[in-house]
Amino acid sequence: MDNKIKELIEKSKNKDEQAFSELFDLYYDRILNYVWRRVLNVEYAKDITSNTFLKVLKNIQRFECTEEASFNGWIYKIATNEINQYFRKQNKYHLIIDDENNLFDLGDDNKAAEEIEKKIDNDKYNQVLNKSIRQLKPIYQDILHLRYFEEMSYKEISEVINKNETTIRV
């Protein structure tokens, strides 16, 4: 794990708001993009991302820096749990996109969200791909998104979804 991240985690555990703010800045766009790819709605993605960081803040005292990339795995695990909770509440495991104009309701307040909108507008293939992925069981969606969009190692993915690394590879 990067020494800077370790230092920020330790400072955050000691209630250093500036350190947590830096952690937030380092991870916000990545988590928002990951969440958005799963829920395909920017407003929900913002809410889920906010909930993720609230849980990180609340539970950072219990986080132990034990192995490389474990904070990365930990924060993605929280985000994945929040996404799954969203789907359980919404009962929308199979979202079908009929009208690409209904994908976004963006305000001007979020640069990352605007970048997402531009990427999707410029890449219709992404819509078809996401629509296909949505037909899979949630666990397979998690694995595909973490591996190919977030470019995580099999080891990191196994940490996020609590499955054996060999199982993830298969």
pLDDT digits (tens, 9 = 90+) for 111-143: 666 666 666 555 666 667 777 888 888 888 888
pLDDT at 6: 87
pLDDT beyond 90 at 28:
yes
- For the chain, what percentages of helix, strand and coil (3-state, to nearest 5) are there? 75, 0, 25
Enumerate the H helices of 14-69 as residue ranges. 17-39, 42-59
Which H or E run includes 120? helix 111-122
pTM for this structure? 0.70
Q: Which of 7-21, 53-67, 88-102, 146-160 has the lowest mean pLDDT?
A: 88-102
Which pairs count as long-range contacts for 68-73, CB under 8 Å and 24+ apart, including other chains?
68/1, 69/1, 69/153, 69/155, 69/156, 69/159, 70/1, 70/159, 71/1, 71/5, 71/9, 72/152, 72/156, 73/152, 73/156, 73/159, 73/160
Distance CA 127, CA 31 (A): 19
Axis crossing angle, helix 111-122 with helix 124-133, rounded to the nearest 10? 100
pLDDT classification of 4: cutoffs 50, 70, 90? confident
Domains of the chain: 3-169 (1.10.1740.10)
- 127: CB partners within 8 A, 6+ apart: 97, 100, 103, 120
